[in-house]
């Protein structure tokens, strides 16, 4: 099969028939073999009934997955990726803001140009300023942290993947924003971008609020930490803990030496415990010890994790 189109959705009953007919027209015009996997993320409208009707009319091209409740976009993509059988997997939103006309060129970039992943870039957006400005700041931060400098829109729903990519990454929580970063961490380095058309929303309202930007930064921090120290937590916690403990110990020693010097020269002195610096130094030593122990415990957990040697082997001879 040439292409799997994964469409996560929540309350999009009005747009689904039009979206499928648009995808179907593009696929037939380009003679692609394809499947469309609709993942109904706990919709409360008639979205699932629409998917059932589409499936009945197009049994070879339409697949459906229905969640019992709303889990979020990442779980929907994870389940869609698991079912995908195409050589190229394309994801798009169900609100008609992503154009299926982009699919042939995305497919060509994967199959002919050798990209592992191609992310859409909605250079001209039909969103309010309150949405576009935080998006620009968010993407600038994501580029800096991930090291993927050529992407302008990490969170664009329109993406194309080599099949191996979606089978070797785990999208969980709200990590769908960082799939390019997940792919890079999994060893897929050829990540490209294509300017795509952004359609104005035709039906319904957006399902995302401004809180996604706050959650996005927290997820980015978690992903960065896991990619750097997930396997070797001692490298971070042990280093910081040792540094703080040594600094605190040297500070306590300096306070004691200073008192001994004053005593030996008949100078006025105060008790070590009367100095505020003593308590600051002691606090540093305690925190340093705690950090070191946290790293040690994390190391024990990592060494006993079942996936600790789950290396992604590309080829064998």
Q: pLDDT tens digits for 76-122?
A: 999 999 999 999 999 999 999 899 999 999 999 999 999 999 999 98
pLDDT at 129: 57
pLDDT at 136: 79
Q: How many CB atoms lie within 10 A of CB 289?
A: 15
- Is the Cβ–Cβ distance between 94 and 7 less than 8 Å? yes
Strand ranges inside 67-201, DSSP E: 88-91, 117-121, 159-162, 191-195
Distance CA 274, CA 260 (A): 15
Question: Residue 42 contacts by C-beta under 8 Å, 6 or more apart in sequence?
Answer: 10, 67, 68, 69, 70, 71
- Is the Cβ–Cβ distance between 98 and 120 less than 8 Å? yes
Q: Which two tokens stand for residue 188?
A: 């897929």
Please, what is the Cα angle at 14 between 10 and 18, to 5 degrees? 110
pLDDT tens-digit readout, 128-157: 655 667 777 888 888 888 889 989 888 889
Q: How many residues does the chain have?
A: 317
pLDDT at 123: 77
Going by the DSSP 8-state scheme, the letter that residue 98 receives in this structure is B
Place of tokens 């306070």: 255
- Is the Cβ–Cβ distance between 99 and 199 less than 8 Å? yes
pLDDT at 141: 83
pLDDT at 179: 92
Going across the sheet that includes 62-66, the strands are 62-66, 34-40, 3-9, 88-91, 159-162, 117-121, 191-195
Distance CA 24, CA 46 (A): 21
The low-confidence residues of the chain, meaning pLDDT below 70, are 125-132, 200-215, 217, 230-231, 302-317
Which residues is 195 bridged to in the sheet? 121
SS3 at position 170: coil
Distance CA 153, CA 173 (A): 20
Distance CA 177, CA 157 (A): 9
- β-pair type (159-162, 88-91): antiparallel
Distance CA 195, CA 184 (A): 21
């Amino acid at each position: 099969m040439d292409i799997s189109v994964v469409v996560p959705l929540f309350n999009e009953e009005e747009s689904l028939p039009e979206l499928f007919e648009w995808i179907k027209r593009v696929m037939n015009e380009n003679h692609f073999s394809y499947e469309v996997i609709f993942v109904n993320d706990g919709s409360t409208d008639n979205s699932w009934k629409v998917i059932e009707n589409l499936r009945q009319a197009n049994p070879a091209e339409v697949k459906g997955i229905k969640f019992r409740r709303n889990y979020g976009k990442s779980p929907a993509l994870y389940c869609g990726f698991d079912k995908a059988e195409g050589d190229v997997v394309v994801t798009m939103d169900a609100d008609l803001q992503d154009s299926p006309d982009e699919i042939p060129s995305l497919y060509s970039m994967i199959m002919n140009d050798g990209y592992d992943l191609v992310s859409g870039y909605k250079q001209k957006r039909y969103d309010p300023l309150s949405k576009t400005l935080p998006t620009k700041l968010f993407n600038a931060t994501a580029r800096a942290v991930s090291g993927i400098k050529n992407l302008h829109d990490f969170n664009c729903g329109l993406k194309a993947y080599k099949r191996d990519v979606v089978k070797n990454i785990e999208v969980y929580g709200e990590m769908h924003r960082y799939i390019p970063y997940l792919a890079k961490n999994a060893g897929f380095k050829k990540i490209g971008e294509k300017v795509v058309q952004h359609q104005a929303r035709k039906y319904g309202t957006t399902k995302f609020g401004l809180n996604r930007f706050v959650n996005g930064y927290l997820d980015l921090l978690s992903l960065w930490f896991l990619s750097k120290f997930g396997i070797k937590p001692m490298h971070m916690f042990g280093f910081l803990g040792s540094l703080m403990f040594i600094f605190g110990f040297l500070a306590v020693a300096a306070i004691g030496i200073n008192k001994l010097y004053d005593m030996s020269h008949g100078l006025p002195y105060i008790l070590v415990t009367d100095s505020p610096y003593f308590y600051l130094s002691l606090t540093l030593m305690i925190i340093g010890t705690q950090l070191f122990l946290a790293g040690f415990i994390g190391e024990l957990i990592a060494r006993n994790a079942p996936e600790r040697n789950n290396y992604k082997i590309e080829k064998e001879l």
